[in-house]
Structure 1
């Protein structure tokens, strides 16, 4: 890749194409001499710490060696020529490209370990006695968000478990919260519209009616039974309650196939935003978090991995638009059956060495708890 400035997304795309041409990160890493590796590692470390372009004099101070700033500038220029660094503008220092970050993660990253206190923190937050599966997953999302200073994500595939209980909780004159609990203890909530002028007693009646017929059945199985009863006028409820029941089932049938997505710490995406272009990237990612389909698909890719996977920027069509990275691990039960995934989303300059062990340890803990 030629030296100089350019649009960040274009540079990242060109860098990834260059990496493929070199045969991937391992081969590109082998082509670097020891001096280049050391300079490059310090550039990435400084970028992770500050998010700012890194100057040669900064690297000279960090190295504390006899290398002059001029020598380091030449090494950085060679790294830029190789597609590992780029300059956001002519007078700036250098930043790693996404190809450079991938090379760093695959060849130079030194993953640390959690302290005993950090392990105890994760254990205490996730392993509370008497919690349902959904509560455990919610706590797991929260703890990885807090410890990584990123957005925490947990997904669980569509549950095939039978249902146990349903309840309608009024929120206003025209809206209610539908609470559904399955036999594995997973709790999900949905908001549904209400018919005008509905008395609270009708919500209780609808909840009792549904709970009696949902028990041990999936939502779809229960829907077939209830639709048949209502069509034959065999339902032991009046027309107004029947409308609530039908609306509740419709609410649950729609959008449930992709599975459960729990997101914690969305506001962390707004930390350290340095430019309007970054803000636009975050806005687009926020929209993706709301629609959730692409994120579920991306995190589900982690089920093919034995451990933690790292998706950097343009390596995913979704997160390439947002300048973010995803660090994710599969959740497997004691029979090594895939039951979901846990991960974090953050800027591409996240502290990978810090976050990988957090995600890995939490994934293994949750797998034991829900297995």
Structure 2
């Protein structure tokens, strides 16, 4: 773990100016440029020495020989954690955000509106995780055979929420077996929480495994896989403004952009990252490689959870280049999460 207290105040100040200028200008920052900064009273030689120290600590690097320096992921992290001065939104910006949540929408439209709003205001990609539902009451279930060992599960939850899932079974089941299994679950567990259904059946499996007939074996396997409590299966997100990233010079590599758009389409990696952010229960900033996904290596992701009835049920945020204006984006994400939570409480 890197220890920030090892860096002198002078070096921290120099790093702060370098990162701020690089975010603003997008070009490597040289010692001569820094020596002309009005906030520094240091000779060019002293600046070169401090820059060399920062490079040795892995906080800045030179993209080309004899070029200026740019911040590394570690440099951005130090900047964001200890040097960044968050700028409060001005009255006009805050009023604009609040006005977008005055009208009443259905939940899906509200989430889509929010991701578009984040994109519009930040000029980055806005993403909103669909609310997690801790309570899903089973209303109806059907199983349809697709092919050998593949079954389509049609689940109806709560009032009219429908989900389709494909599961892979340990053996092939006949249509009659699947119908019998669905009948059993519909008769025995209607109105019960699906997590409770799954846990009850698995407990029954442990208690009566030896005397269990083929019918109950089928019921338990189907319930185990159809009601899998892996939360990533129950998640989705809406995203807007992906094309904004095509205009960012730092992300102009066509192959990297393609991989990023594929990740947005396939969703799994992004969902996993959003799920990590939700579990943290606070604003999270993933910079470059910190996300754990190569496809996001040149990106930063800023997220904040939104709360309904006192419980954190999702996160929203923005995805953009590591060279983003953090001091402006962070308060936008924070306020938007609060406004979305408030709006959902009234839906």
TM-score, normalised with respect to structure 1: 0.66
Q: Distance in 2 between matches of 1:31 and 1:293?
A: 39
What is the match of residue 162 of structure 2?
A: 219
Provide structure 2 residue ranges, at least 5 long, that are not aligned to the other structure.
140-153, 165-177, 184-226
1:153 aligns with 2:135: no
Query: Which of 315, 326, 333 does residue 341 from structure 1 map onto?
Result: 315
The 3 A distance-change label for structure 1 pair 257 and 96 is same
Select which of 308, 323, 326 maps to 1:352.
Answer: 326
1:86 maps to which residue? Answer: 61
Q: Does 1:56 align with 2:31?
A: yes
CA contact (8 A) 1:155 1:340 kept: yes
CA distance in structure 1 between the aligned counterparts of 2:9 and 2:51, rounded to whole angstroms: 13
Matched, 1:294 2:260: no
Is the Cα contact below 8 Å between 2:281 and 2:312 reproduced in 1? no
In structure 1, how many angstroms separate the alpha carbons of the residues matched to 2:158 and 2:317?
A: 33
For these two proteins, the number of residue pairs brought into alignment is: 270
| Moved >3 Å (runs of 4+) | 63-66, 157-164, 319-322
Task: From the superposition, tell whether residues 274 and 112 of structure 1 become closer, same or farther in structure 2 (CA, over 3 Å).
Answer: closer
The equivalences for 1:156-171 within 5 A come to: 156-157=130-131, 159=133
User: Aligned Cα RMSD in Å?
Assistant: 3.1
1:257 is paired with a residue of what secondary structure?
helix
Deviations 1:99-136 (A, max 9, x none): 1111111111111111121111111123313x111111
Residues 1:71 and 2:14 are matched in the alignment: no
The aligned counterpart of 2:235 is: 259
- TM-score normalized by structure 2? 0.70
Query: Is the contact made by 1:112 and 1:357 (CA closer than 8 Å) also made in structure 2?
Result: yes
Please list the CA deviations of residues 254-281 of structure 1 after superposition, one character each: whole Å capped at 9, or x if unmatched. Answer: xx934231111001111232586x3332
Question: Per the alignment, in what secondary structure is the counterpart of residue 128 of structure 2?
Answer: strand
Q: 1:228 to 1:218 in 2, by over 3 A?
A: farther
Q: Aligned partners of 1:127, 1:161: CA distance in 2, in Å?
A: 29
Aligned to 1:273: 249
Taking structure 1 as reference, are residues 60 and 214 closer, same or farther at Cα in structure 2, changes over 3 Å only? closer
* Matching residue of 2:286: 311
Q: Look up the SS of the partner of 1:216 in the other structure.
A: coil
Confirm or deny: 8 A CA contact 2:277 2:315 kept in the other structure: yes
Deviates more, 1:135-144 or 1:341-350: 135-144
Whether the aligned pair in 1 keeps the contact of 2:129 and 2:315 (CA below 8 Å) is yes
**SS of the residue 1:219 aligns to:** strand
Q: In 1, Cα distance between the equivalents of 2:27 and 2:272?
A: 32
Secondary structure at the counterpart of residue 327 of structure 1: strand
Equivalents in 2 of 1:285, 1:273: separation in Å? Answer: 15
Aligned equivalents of 2:88, 2:299: Cα separation in 1: 24
Query: Structure 2 vs 1, CA of residues 220 and 135 (structure 1 numbering), >3 Å: closer, same or farther?
Result: closer
Deviations 1:207-248 (A, max 9, x none): xxx9xx998254369xxxxx969x99xxxxxxxxxxxxxxxx
Checking the alignment, whether the CA contact within 8 Å between 2:251 and 2:321 is kept in structure 1 is: no
